[in-house]
Amino acid sequence: MNNPPKFFYDLIQETAKKFPNKVSFKKRDTEGNFVGKTYSQIFEEINQITAGLINLKVSVGDKIAFLCDASPNWILVDISIVASGAVSVPRGTDVTDEDIIYILSHSESKFAIVQKEKDRKRLMKLKRKFPKLKEIFVIESENFQLATGKNSLTDLMKKGESALKKDPKIIQNRKTKINPKNLATLIYTSGTTGAPKGVMLNQMNWIDAVHKVLNRIEVTENDRIVSLLPPWHALERAIEYAVISTGADFLVSDSAKIKDDLREFKPTMFPSVPRIWESVYNGIMSKIKKEKPAKQKIFNFALKISEIFAKEKAFLLGYDPAIEEPNPILSTIRKILAGIHLIFLFPLRILANKIFSPIHGAVGGNLRISVSGGSALPSVVDRFLTSIGIKVLEGYGLTETAAVISVRNAFKPTSGTLGDPLIGYQIQIKDDKGHDVSSTPGKRGVLWVKSDQILMGYYKRPELNKAVFDKDRFFDTGDIMTLNYKGELIFAGRAKDTIALAGGENVEPGPIEDKLLVSEFIDQVMVTGDDKKTLGALIVPNFERVKIELQLKEVTEKWNENKQVRELFKKEITRLISKDTGFKTFELIPGNCFYIVPRNFDPDTEMTRT
């Protein structure tokens, strides 16, 4: 991919030529088989849908609302919308009625393509709220087969097939009217307050981002990739474009089947969000807790040896997490010592690998890279995965940057960092006074970025565009970062998340939250305390682990008043957040300043961290 194409359509066209008979974009069917389509079939169906849209009198620049969750058919519709010259306005089907009304009205969508019949009926009930909507098409039935009948995707494809027979050049003629730098997709991002913001991205934004990541990670047609992320999210969208670009084997999974899919599909790559990796970590540690004391000691010994081995290897190969450049002489001595340590530790490492083999077997046994993005990966989970031999490439980006700004180097993945920015990015780290401190390793500030792959702007929000872009077109990410001497980014918190206590102290909640997530009893946590004397915490328990530990039977809604439960979490907080573990007095969470949340946080309205 030295000279990447300019259009999404070209990506699938080239891959269909290279690998016409290769089956990809698979899904487990009701009988347990992985069923997909060949790349030539995918390309043919995209042609039919695209021609169908053009035949429908879709004009260049028209907005098409696209409500769909994880599905092997998502990519067909997305590429077809853009290939027709229209603008894809994607969202999940779990979106609220309020957001649907806002998005379809604000975007002035003329058409809608929805996943299932129930989604069409839902839009029809709300249709009077967005009178510009002309037609609604249904993609698939309950078993992911293409829907049939009037206003179905199959119906649209049949019309497209007829249009292609009448005019074989209908798509190419439309392509000449499309500028790849013009608006291609409008992604509405949700926050905890205010109306959703429409992020404007073009085809070149995405292709530029995907091309640079593929060069760094080295994904090929031989890779087997499994994912369960929502396709309208920026990270998953970039993944699917990367699959289309390389001809890789791709499986669309879901939370109910992911364990079986990992074991049986045997992926070489598993891109996901920290939430999934936290669940993997908590599940393993909970299982170890149930083993006999002797087995626990063996596992913990193997883990400790592996942590040391990974640390020494990083020193020897030059990807240790040092902030400032070490003295050359001392660094050479340290590398020699690291090499000696590795020689002595190697036999124990081999033994540890055998102990960890069931874990590798659970993810298929062929996993060469795990990609984590979407939010900050807790350091304890990062170290654990690295120690057991799963290479973690943590990346960083926003919807506004076509999913990616930086990602760790596959050959030198520095733990605790987000890797160095992709080629073509200019960065500034601005301190409280607006000065760029990026030339000084370890200095904190808000990250501002400039690149060809960042958003064109927010749709119909000129006042917001003025606020997030400076005079040189650098974009304010809102994230607090530092750089190490190698130029790798280190996440330090969200600028908007900084807690200002009543006493005037400023607290970054990220490190405290990461430390609390070490607990086997805590699944999610949010530290609070703006304008208060002390910090507090909202805690989502690891429900199953707590039930087993305390032998509870009562409903989780009552846990916050349960003395046993509160005492358990009080001890955990005191154990993990103290002066002995490196926290300052004002960073402690005193007494009973916490609330037990009876459900997981909502990822759209309650979790806004990067």
3-state secondary structure 50-97: HHHHHHCCCCCCCEEEEECCCCCCHHHHHHHHHHCCCEEEEECCCCCH
428 vs 3: which has the higher pLDDT: 428
For 27-46, give the secondary structure using H, E and C.
EECCCCCEEEEEHHHHHHHH
Kindly tell me if the per-residue pLDDT of 193 is higher than 80. Answer: no
Which of 453, 474, 494 marks a domain boundary? 494
Output the average pLDDT for the chain.
Answer: 93
CATH number of residue 578's parent domain: 3.30.300.30
255 shares its domain with 281: no
359 vs 218: which has the higher pLDDT: 359
**Looking at residue 435, what is its pLDDT?**
95
131 shares its domain with 249: yes
| Tens of pLDDT, residues 57-97 | 999 999 999 999 999 999 999 999 999 999 999 999 998 89
477 shares its domain with 553: no
Count how many domains the chain has: 4
Q: In this structure, what token pair is assigned to residue 54?
A: 């053009």
Instruction: Report if residue 321 sits inside a domain.
Output: yes
Kindly tell me if the per-residue pLDDT of 604 is higher than 80. Answer: no
Name which of 203-212, 298-307, 547-556, 582-591 the model is least confident about. 547-556
Kindly tell me if the per-residue pLDDT of 194 is higher than 90. Answer: no
| Tens of pLDDT, residues 9-48 | 999 999 999 999 999 999 999 899 999 999 999 999 999 9
CATH number of residue 426's parent domain: 2.30.38.10
222 shares its domain with 294: no
Instruction: Report if residue 604 sits inside a domain.
Output: no
Closest CA to 76 of 149, 160, 4, 180: 160
**Looking at residue 609, what is its pLDDT?**
37
478 shares its domain with 540: no
Residues 593, 540 contacting (CB under 8 angstroms)? no
111 shares its domain with 173: yes
Kindly tell me if the per-residue pLDDT of 208 is higher than 70. Answer: yes
Instruction: Report if residue 191 sits inside a domain.
Output: no
Span 532-536, mean pLDDT? 93
Q: How far apart are CA 160 and CA 124, in angstroms?
A: 24
How many CA within 13 A on the CB side of residue 423? 9
Instruction: Report if residue 324 sits inside a domain.
Output: yes
**Looking at residue 602, what is its pLDDT?**
67
Span 580-585, mean pLDDT? 89
Span 172-194, mean pLDDT? 88
Span 596-608, mean pLDDT? 69
Span 352-360, mean pLDDT? 96
Kindly tell me if the per-residue pLDDT of 280 is higher than 90. Answer: no
Instruction: Report if residue 209 sits inside a domain.
Output: no
The contacts of residue 402 (CB under 8 Å, 6+ apart) are 201, 205, 206, 208, 209, 234, 238, 453, 454
Residues 434, 268 contacting (CB under 8 angstroms)? no
509 shares its domain with 536: yes
Instruction: Report if residue 325 sits inside a domain.
Output: yes
Mapping DSSP to helix (H, G, I), strand (E, B) and coil, where does residue 588 land?
coil
Strand pairing partners for 34? 28
Please report which helix (H) or strand (E) contains residue 9, including its range: helix 8-18
Please report which helix (H) or strand (E) contains residue 573, including its range: helix 563-576
Kindly tell me if the per-residue pLDDT of 171 is higher than 70. Answer: yes
457 shares its domain with 375: no
Span 586-590, mean pLDDT? 93
30 shares its domain with 41: yes
245 shares its domain with 339: no
The band of 531, judged by pLDDT with boundaries at 50, 70 and 90, is confident
Kindly tell me if the per-residue pLDDT of 608 is higher than 60. Answer: no
Please state, in angstroms and as integers, the Cα–Cα distance from residue 211 to each residue in 78, 201, 227, 269, 464, following that order.
19, 16, 20, 17, 29
Q: What percent of the chain has pLDDT over 70?
A: 97
Span 401-422, mean pLDDT? 95
136 shares its domain with 227: yes
Question: Which residue range is the domain that position 463 belongs to?
Answer: 392-494
254 shares its domain with 292: no
Span 286-314, mean pLDDT? 94
Model-wide pTM > 0.85: yes
Which of 388, 421, 437 marks a domain boundary? 388
Q: In this structure, what token pair is assigned to residue 393?
A: 């490439």
Q: Where are the beta strands (DSSP E) in 431-545?
A: 445-450, 457-458, 475-483, 489-494, 499-500, 506-507, 522-528, 536-541
**Looking at residue 334, what is its pLDDT?**
96
Span 139-148, mean pLDDT? 93
Check residue 472 and report its DSSP letter: T
Instruction: Report if residue 190 sits inside a domain.
Output: no
Q: How many H-runs (helices) and E-runs (strands) does the chain carry? A: 18, 25
**Looking at residue 154, what is its pLDDT?**
97
Instruction: Report if residue 283 sits inside a domain.
Output: yes
Span 305-329, mean pLDDT? 95
CATH number of residue 65's parent domain: 3.40.50.12780
| Tens of pLDDT, residues 227-250 | 999 999 899 999 999 999 999 999
| Tens of pLDDT, residues 430-453 | 998 999 999 999 999 999 999 999
Q: Tally the residues of the chain.
A: 610
Residues 523, 537 contacting (CB under 8 angstroms)? no
**Looking at residue 556, what is its pLDDT?**
83
Q: In 10 A of CB 460, how many CB atoms?
A: 13
**Looking at residue 247, what is its pLDDT?**
98
| Tens of pLDDT, residues 496-512 | 888 888 877 888 898 89
Which of 388, 403, 422 marks a domain boundary? 388
